[in-house]
Chain A
Amino acid sequence: MSKMETTLPALSPDGDRMIVNMGPSHNSTHGTLHIVLELDGEFIVKATPQIGYLHRGVEKLGENLTYQQFIPLTDRLNYCSSLMNNVGYTLAVEKLLGIQDPPRSRVLRVLCSELARIGDHLVCIGINAVDIGAFTAFLYMFKERETIYDLFEMMAGQRLHSSFTRIGGLFRDIPAEFEPLCGQFVESCERTIDEMERLLTHNPIWADRTKGVGAISAEDAIGWGYTGPCLRAAGVAQDLRVAQPYLDYETYEFDVAIAGSGDVYDRYLVRTEEMRQSLRIVRQCLKRLKEIGPGPVIVEDYKVALPPKEKVYTRMESLIHHFKLIMHGIDMPVGEVYSATEAANGELGFYIVSDGTKSPYRIHVRPPCFPIFSSFEEQVKGRLIADAISVLGAMNIIAGEMDR
């Protein structure tokens, strides 16, 4: 037996580097995303994100489904705030059709969007804190998130994948028990946010781990295509609810939260303030619902929305409308629209090209976290691995939305 020869690998002049795979199923990569980190000790020299693990071909599927059938797929984009995706998508189709939903539906859409925003921010901040090591805040916040999901269940019959909206309005009205529970939720959520702030805002460990981490200038943030809380944390007061109001947002009173440095701590502050503002909007919505009183929540145009079942079973025209809508879909005008809404992560855009048939010719989703995540390498280069975790959490990457 010959003696085994071993040769030591030559060290490169700039020290030896280690390649570490973070993900595709790492505790802090929520959803399946994969980052190849090149490390020099604890410092990140290079970070190459690899995405696409959750690519389900949503856009391709959309080209083969009717406009109405696409709604359940939008639930699965940002599954932390699926209601907001439903609203964004139906608004895009309604823009294409040139119709508007009834006033009660508009208020309910705002109400569920804001609840979804609170839910999304609670998860984002809570998980970010857990990744960093502050477990307690997360537990307080998840109690509130449960109530939000109870409310969604009352609304849509589903907790996570709500599919609550329909083209021209909503699937149904809210039940009578909704308003008292929502009122309670607003009170208790306010207290929880205070509690969370007591746990985090002045916590020196939280500040150490987040201040200055992932800081970005306003110009860079715009260049990278940032939108939403991450852009506002960098000091740009861009909120589509104010800048390009939809669903009558201009008639609600709320403030746009902005910060300056764009770091993880500022993103946390912006999200916290946004939750408070959302609660303000929810209160106004509850008041408005009382003022408006009962009414239709979907347009009574049976060329767009299904007629009620009683009519389908008793009237000839309604039966024909029902049949035509299910079998042939909605008569769409030929054209293309891009409609954007302010989702929890930023601008959620839907680009729809219609050729007049029952399915979209092309449907494209502009997910807010996709451009944000593309800046990941620049955000973490030269920093510690621990910073990568907190940056990743504060970007609020939702793989379902990013990969589509």
Chain B
Amino acid sequence: MVIERIDETLPGAVLDRHAFRGDQTIVVGRDRLLEVIDLIYKEGFQLLLDVTAVDGGQRDPRFDVVYHLLNLTSQERLRIKVRVGERESVPSLVSRFKSADWAERETMDMFGIPFEGHPDPRRLLMWEDFPGHPLRKDFPLDGGDVFCSQDIGASFSPDARSPHV
């Protein structure tokens, strides 16, 4: 198992681990992420399927950045989680995996988690001046649209267009 190999080679890197329904998850500190990634890359985990995040809401640290990796030879899957607080950054994996480029941009766009060393840190799905990060738990489902949140019966008034003024 690759988790034992990580423990042997990089003691203390894995902060926590759990297995659920056959999915292996390890939690890694953000300062040791690149070491762990380099090690498991050598072990055969060369396909980075996905980078995403989970907003823990009130929890501290707030976010889990989640990486899904696949070993094409042994068909093993591994989920790596990195816990980050608000305004904390995660090292970018673009130098290791090209597939991390857009996936990290999307995570940054949707959660506002900065990826340190990303060559092109622009928003991906939303436009540049979009306010907020949609997948954060405190972002309203209706996008903060005044026509959705006010009384449906309210007649149109041009002032209602700019609720933030």
Are B72 and A374 in contact (CB-based, < 8 A)?
no
Q: Please name the residue on chain A nearest to B100 by beta carbon.
A: A225
Interface assignment of A338: CB less than 8 Å from any CB of chain B: yes
Chain A binding surface, main DSSP class: mixed
1/0 per position for A220-236, CB-CB distance to B under 8 A? Answer: 10111101000000001
Cross-chain contact A243 with B75 (CB below 8 angstroms): yes
Q: How far is the CA of A132 from the CA of B103 in the complex (A)?
A: 30
Q: Are A374 and B126 in contact (CB under 8 A)?
A: no
Determine the distance from Cα of A98 to Cα of B22 in the docked complex, in whole angstroms.
Answer: 11
List A contacts of B68 (CB < 8 A).
338, 349, 351, 366
Q: Which of A326-368 contact B (CB under 8 A)?
A: 335-338, 340, 347, 349, 351, 353, 361-362, 364, 366
Query: Taking the nearest CB of chain B, how far is it from the CB of A76, in angstroms?
Result: 16
Total interface residues in chain B, CB < 8 Å: 33
Contact of B54 among A64, A362, A374, A403 (CB under 8 A): A362
Which of the residues B21, B72, B139 comes within 8 Å of A96, measured between beta carbons? B21
State which of A52, A244, A375 has its C-beta within 8 Å of the C-beta of B98. Answer: A375
If the complex has contacts A362-B54, A364-B52, are A52 and B127 also in contact, measured as CB distance less than 8 A? yes
Tell me if B125 and A225 are in contact (CB < 8 A): no
Measured between beta carbons, the chain B residues less than 8 angstroms from A287 are none
Bound complex: CA A59 to CA B139 (Å): 13
In the assembled complex, 27 residue pairs joining A and B whose CB atoms fall closer than 8 Å, in A order, are A52-B124, A52-B127, A55-B125, A98-B21, A223-B97, A223-B99, A224-B99, A225-B47, A225-B98, A227-B47, A236-B72, A244-B75, A335-B21, A336-B23, A336-B79, A337-B23, A338-B68, A338-B79, A349-B50, A351-B52, A351-B68, A366-B49, A366-B50, A371-B103, A374-B98, A403-B125, A404-B125
For the complex of A and B, 9 pairs with smallest distance between CB atoms: A225-B99, A52-B125, A374-B102, A335-B20, A366-B50, A371-B99, A55-B125, A223-B98, A364-B52
